[in-house]
Amino acid sequence: MGAGYGDAGPADDEEGARLGIAPDAVGSDATPGRARILAALAAARYHGFEPDPEDFHSAQSDGVPSPFELVEWLREAGLWARANRMNWRQLMKLTEPAPVVLLFNDGSAGLLTGVDAVERVALIKDPRGRQSDLPVPVDELRLSEVWTGEVILIRKPREASGDRETFNLGWVFRLFLRDKKFLRDISIASMVTSVLAIVPPFIVMSVIDRVVVYGNQDTLILLALIWGTVVLYETVLEYARVDMVTLLAGRIDTRINLHVFNRMMGLGLDYFERHPAGEIHHRINQLYLVRMFFTGRMFDLVLDVFTLIVLLPILFYMSSALALVAVATAIVITLIIVAFMPAMRRVTGQVVRAETRKSTHMVENIHGIRTIKSLAIEPQSKAEWDLRVADAADWRIQSGRLGNWPITLVIPFDRFMQRGLILLGAYWLLSGTATLDTGGLIAFLMLGGRLAAPLVSMSKMVQDQEELRLAISEVGLVINNPPETAITSSGIRPPIEGALSFQGVTFSYPGQMTPALKDVSFSVPAGTMLGIVGKSGSGKSTIARLLQGINRDYSGFVKLDGNDLREINLRYLRRSQGVVLQDNFLFRGTVRDNIIAGRAGLTLEDAVRAARLAGAEEFIERMPAGYETFIQEGSTNISGGQRQRLAIARALVTDPRLLILDEATSALDPESEALVNANLVRIGKGRTMVLITHRMSSLTDCDLIVVMHEGKMLDIAPHRVLLERCAIYRQLWLQQNRHLDPQGTRHATPAPVPIEAD
Ligand SMILES: Nc1ncnc2c1ncn2[C@@H]1O[C@H](COP(=O)(O)OP(=O)(O)OP(=O)(O)O)[C@@H](O)[C@H]1O
Ligand SMILES: [Mg+2]
């Protein structure tokens, strides 16, 4: 049909419809920028991936996603993605059936679903259109009017989905080798520098042989000129080299840092629970060694290698006998260093371990300083610190002493190369066996002295590489753990109502002998206010953790609206939930920031509404700057109860379908607890609420209460029923409410029909 695009789509001259692609499904949110996200999403779905548009963050002022941001977002979701420039001819050669995103001038995008190389048309769909819409054939001229020439290619990742590459030395080097152009330039600069460095000794040689011996003025001037030029070149090149090294190192550093943080955030919560924050912090901090290596040693090495390549042939050409002696000496030096390496490696490992223990202690103490001070156990803590410092110092001294040996042993050989060779050379010169003259001998010495340094630093390099490997493996110990994100980028996103059911759920924490939950079964309809009670350690929080998808290796089923919880996209699941724990973290920022917590699309009104519901409005309004008051973790301008109400507001601000309060009111004083409790019914309205608490009086309003005992579910019923039939519940109630009438003091709760566990 040739350029028959005209009859394929409606003749519509509107902006964004220039291709004749019908944007009929354009809703209110279908801005051009939205089209880019939709197009990328459609292409990702083709590969069975489901990136969450909520995860997409654009820093662009016009809200139009940049190719880079789209690629980042897709990669985050586990896909292979790349932004490229292409021309029509390259487009026509795309034979893969996978759709490609074409970016348009107006900030929107189209989905290239195929090409017809015979008819010379591209088949393009509007991502905002209906799924059933047929792609529109578009020819070169028509496309060139709207297309920026940018495409986003999306593929399935090479490895099994979600599995990330192991972070190790090889990974870092691959990253390093990716900047081919830079590496090439640096190599060239290094090579030229090392060649130019050869020149001055020859100038010295000529000065002595030609100028001093024969008194030749012209040669002197010529040599001075050559020398000047060489110095100039050397200066400029050195500047350029250092500049490039700095740039490249900065880029590598940035990439590694971004990568490591991403991977760390992707780890499951249980990892952070099993490892002290100090240890994780120290391990990740080892990245500074990686940076040091790449900013310094790495490029010195390149320079050293080139120096050797250039130097050796020249030395042998000048005097093979002297060159042989020089090389032999250099080899002895290298051997000495290599001989000490295994021992050094062992000691270095110990130093790293000791340092880790040290900084773990430091970080733990900073975190726990309140407890330490209130228990007045500073002396114990100091004693422990002393031990760890002494240990680290010991290993450092051992490492330093051991390292001193090769350095000392090498000195005589090094000095021989620097100065002793002249004696040998002079002897050979006198005895007539040498092929060198005086100037040559001096030049040889100047050059030969350069031989040792690269060899020594190259053999030290083995040591550095060892240190680097150790540093990287320390980082790897953290981030190579199985990520949680593999699950965050997949899974279904069903609309959530809030009907919950546990079916024969048994769960043990890793490494624990007794299960924390034993065959727990119950189910509640959406909108239930569900209380959970039980003695300490009975498994209440574990139920909450399973609901949040923190622990997923349980047997049986946890279902949300009939969907297996493990099938639901983890990030989506957590976004649909509000969780308040006993101890909640405040971010640096204003009260408003702390309630909104960076979640997109929330306004001050939402924050105010949530604060009112959480009973926090009263104290926020009394604060000096209201919602703009600055608070932070450990802030003194906020009390424990206020902090808790802020956390409740934070959980409520997104109006979640499922709200989990785990001992959320335990830290509150009776007055603020009463405030929150009075609001509980209102808070729970229109959502499922799981209320875990020790305060039995908070539970009387619950529709249903689960009674847990040693990991087993004893009963589920409303308060009054439980009082009558559940001995443990009655016991718990009476412990706290001896003075009350056992029916509860509040308004009579209409007894809802208990739902049988299935
Ligand atoms: N992260 C964890 N690792 C290992 N075992 C755990 C972990 N968390 C809890 N447990 C164990 O699981 C069991 C149930 O703990 P859970 O935290 O669910 O109790 P709980 O009912 O919430 O108690 P409390 O009222 O004291 O908060 C306990 O025996 C506890 O020791
Ligand atoms: Mg608990």
pLDDT in tens, 510-529: 888 899 999 999 999 999 99
**Alpha-helical runs (H) found in 416-491:** 421-430, 438-479, 485-488
Average pLDDT over residues 441-450: 80
How far CA 247 is from CA of 130, 179, 190, 303, in Å, comes to 47, 11, 15, 17
Q: Which of 269, 274, 502, 509 to mutate to test the pocket of ligand 1 (most atoms within 8 A of CB)?
A: 509
Measured from the CB, is residue 540 less than 6 Å from ligand 1? yes
Instruction: Spell 377-415 as b/e; 16+ CB within 10 A means b.
Output: eeeebeeeeeebeebbeebeeebeeebeebeebbeebbe
Judge whether residue 406 has pLDDT over 80: yes
Alpha-carbon distance 549 to 483, whole Å?
13
CA of 663, closest atom in ligand 1? 27
Among all chains, which residue has been given the structure tokens 């490895």? 159
For ligand 1, atom 14, the nearest C-alpha belongs to 539
Mean of all residue pLDDT scores within the chain: 82
Strand partners, 239: none
Which listed ligand is nearest to 537 at the C-alpha?
1
Average pLDDT over residues 719-726: 91
CA of 273, closest atom in ligand 1? 1
Average pLDDT over residues 743-747: 48
541 alpha carbon – ligand 1 mean position (Å)? 7
371 alpha carbon – ligand 2 mean position (Å)? 20
Judge whether residue 291 has pLDDT over 70: yes
Strand partners, 122: 115, 138
CA torsion sign, 22 to 26 to 30 to 31? positive
Cβ distance 462 to 338 under 8 Å? yes
| pLDDT band, residue 712 (cuts 50/70/90) | very high
For ligand 1, atom 9, the nearest C-alpha belongs to 542
Measured from the CB, is residue 693 less than 6 Å from ligand 1? no
Alpha-carbon distance 629 to 636, whole Å?
12
Average pLDDT over residues 118-133: 84
For ligand 1, atom 19, the nearest C-alpha belongs to 537
- Confidence at residue 752, expressed as pLDDT on a 0 to 100 scale: 45
Among all chains, which residue has been given the structure tokens 């607890």? 673
- Confidence at residue 698, expressed as pLDDT on a 0 to 100 scale: 83
Average pLDDT over residues 697-723: 91
Closest among 569, 551, 581, 550 to 650, alpha carbons compared: 581
Closest among 740, 660, 659 to 696, alpha carbons compared: 740
Alpha-carbon distance 511 to 488, whole Å?
25
Measured from the CB, is residue 508 less than 6 Å from ligand 1? no
In the three-class reduction of DSSP (H, G, I as helix; E, B as strand; rest coil), residue 80 is classed as strand
pLDDT in tens, 45-85: 888 787 878 778 777 777 788 888 898 888 877 788 888 89
**Which range is least confidently modeled, 47-61, 158-172, 216-230, 694-708?**
158-172
More confident residue, 108 or 488: 108
542 alpha carbon – ligand 1 mean position (Å)? 6
**Which range is least confidently modeled, 38-42, 45-49, 532-536, 709-713?**
45-49
Alpha-carbon distance 262 to 76, whole Å?
9
pTM equals: 0.69
Judge whether residue 213 has pLDDT over 90: no
Average pLDDT over residues 327-331: 87
Cβ distance 427 to 291 under 8 Å? no
**Which range is least confidently modeled, 268-282, 392-406, 729-743?**
729-743
662 alpha carbon – ligand 2 mean position (Å)? 7
Which listed ligand is nearest to 538 at the C-alpha?
1
Measured from the CB, is residue 509 less than 6 Å from ligand 1? yes
- Confidence at residue 505, expressed as pLDDT on a 0 to 100 scale: 95
Cβ distance 51 to 77 under 8 Å? yes
More confident residue, 130 or 378: 378
- Confidence at residue 751, expressed as pLDDT on a 0 to 100 scale: 44
CA of 582, closest atom in ligand 1? 27
Measured from the CB, is residue 641 less than 6 Å from ligand 1? no
For ligand 1, atom 29, the nearest C-alpha belongs to 537
Distance, C-alpha 386 to centroid of its chain: 34
Measured from the CB, is residue 537 less than 6 Å from ligand 1? yes
542 alpha carbon – ligand 2 mean position (Å)? 7
Closest among 500, 542, 572, 562 to 711, alpha carbons compared: 542
More confident residue, 276 or 158: 276
**Which range is least confidently modeled, 7-21, 570-584, 723-737?**
7-21
pLDDT in tens, 652-702: 999 999 999 998 877 777 777 777 778 888 888 889 999 998 888 888 889
178 alpha carbon – ligand 1 mean position (Å)? 47
How far CA 276 is from CA of 258, 269, 273, 281, in Å, comes to 22, 12, 7, 9
Which listed ligand is nearest to 708 at the C-alpha?
1
For ligand 1, atom 18, the nearest C-alpha belongs to 539
CA of 539, closest atom in ligand 1? 18
In the three-class reduction of DSSP (H, G, I as helix; E, B as strand; rest coil), residue 584 is classed as coil
For ligand 1, atom 4, the nearest C-alpha belongs to 509
- Confidence at residue 499, expressed as pLDDT on a 0 to 100 scale: 93
540 alpha carbon – ligand 1 mean position (Å)? 8
739 alpha carbon – ligand 2 mean position (Å)? 27
For ligand 1, atom 2, the nearest C-alpha belongs to 509
- Confidence at residue 526, expressed as pLDDT on a 0 to 100 scale: 93
CA of 540, closest atom in ligand 1? 21
Task: Give 592-601's long-range contacts (Cβ < 8 A, gap of 24+).
Answer: 592/627, 592/628, 594/631, 594/646, 594/650, 595/627, 595/646, 595/649, 595/650, 595/653, 596/650, 596/653, 597/650, 597/653, 599/653, 599/654, 600/54, 600/57
Alpha-carbon distance 391 to 393, whole Å?
5
Q: Which domains are seen in the chain, by residue range?
A: 4-155 (3.90.70.10), 169-479 (1.20.1560.10), 525-539+567-737 (3.40.50.300)
| % of residues, the chain, pLDDT over 70 | 90
Judge whether residue 562 has pLDDT over 80: yes
Judge whether residue 455 has pLDDT over 80: no
Which listed ligand is nearest to 542 at the C-alpha?
1
536 alpha carbon – ligand 2 mean position (Å)? 7
Measured from the CB, is residue 534 less than 6 Å from ligand 1? yes
Measured from the CB, is residue 516 less than 6 Å from ligand 1? yes
| % of residues, the chain, pLDDT over 90 | 18
| pLDDT band, residue 300 (cuts 50/70/90) | confident
- Confidence at residue 11, expressed as pLDDT on a 0 to 100 scale: 38
Which listed ligand is nearest to 533 at the C-alpha?
1
Measured from the CB, is residue 541 less than 6 Å from ligand 1? yes
- Confidence at residue 12, expressed as pLDDT on a 0 to 100 scale: 39
Average pLDDT over residues 99-110: 89
Judge whether residue 590 has pLDDT over 60: yes
Measured from the CB, is residue 542 less than 6 Å from ligand 1? yes
C-alpha angle 28/33/38, rounded to 5°? 80
Judge whether residue 424 has pLDDT over 60: yes
For ligand 1, atom 11, the nearest C-alpha belongs to 516
